[in-house]
Amino acid sequence: MISDLQKMKQEGRKIVGVVAWDTQIAQIADRAGVDLVSVGDSVGKNLWGHATENEVTLEEMQIVCRAVRRGVKRALVSADLPAHEQNAASALRLKEYGADMVKLLGSADLVRSVVRAGVPVFAEFHGGKDDTATLVDLAKRLEEAGASLLDFRHSGPVAGEAVARAVRIPVLGGLGGGPWLDGRMRMAHAAIGYGFSNLEKSSDQYANVAQITFDALSAYAEDVRAAKQIKGQRG
């Protein structure tokens, strides 16, 4: 429940969030004990090969949201509103497909509209350009509009800590986040080194699934070409 995450902030316990796009990763993340599973529109760029996330449609997000929902039994599920579908009607559609809340990048007015429609909001905003006072003011306005969580991208230790202290709701961060926030977001595929780029360079991920996958498929190919029985399959 959202109230559980807000209680974690009050108690000083860090919130663990991951971005997932499929049932299998969602199941693993849920069993690993993460607090929040975010269905990101980043699926378009990182899994489907689109140039940007802006190409992802509401219908596609509904499919991905439902897949993740099937895998999550305990954690909270958030789903991104596509860039061209930032409105209350679309938020309600994602809620129908299993989202406990929606994540959006928008104004306090948009947050208020979605919350009034009955959908909790994970409100995203970005640092890096505005001064700390401006970012604190923005965070407060999003909170006052009804946001339940904040995703503060590129926060930095100064503005990040100031914002986290200024609002009662949890402040998480992915890109450019850090321990100064109430929790962290990370793409599960990035944490495990799933991407093709992990074959080309050394990485500091928690695993290198790309290399493991490459080695496994190479070994499978060798067995097939050598007319051997492949592993994991009988008859």
Q: Are residues 110 and 58 in the same domain?
A: yes
184 falls within a domain: yes
18 falls within a domain: yes
Confidence tier at 160 by pLDDT (50, 70, 90) = very high
In the chain, DSSP assigns E strands to 15-19, 36-39, 76-80, 101-105, 121-126, 149-153, 171-173, 183-187
Residue 13, pLDDT above cutoff 70: yes
Confidence tier at 150 by pLDDT (50, 70, 90) = very high
Q: Are residues 25 and 86 in the same domain?
A: yes
Q: Are residues 45 and 95 in the same domain?
A: yes
Q: Are residues 176 and 213 in the same domain?
A: no
What does pLDDT average to over the chain? Answer: 91
Higher per-residue pLDDT: 70 or 220: 70
233 falls within a domain: no
Q: Are residues 108 and 216 in the same domain?
A: no
Name the residue with tokens 């509103």.
81
167 falls within a domain: yes
The string of pLDDT tens digits covering residues 82-99 is 989 999 999 999 999 999
C-beta separation of 187 from 37 below 8 A: no
Of 169, 126, 119, residue with least CA distance to 144: 169
- 216: domain range? 197-225
Residue 115, pLDDT above cutoff 60: yes
The string of pLDDT tens digits covering residues 116-127 is 999 999 999 998
Q: Are residues 133 and 218 in the same domain?
A: no
Average pLDDT (4-9) is 94
C-beta separation of 56 from 79 below 8 A: no
As given in the structure block, the two tokens for residue 201 are 């360079």
* pTM of the complete model: 0.89
Of 40, 34, 9, residue with least CA distance to 163: 9
Q: Count how many domains the chain has.
A: 2
CATH assignment at residue 49: 3.20.20.60
Q: Are residues 147 and 85 in the same domain?
A: yes
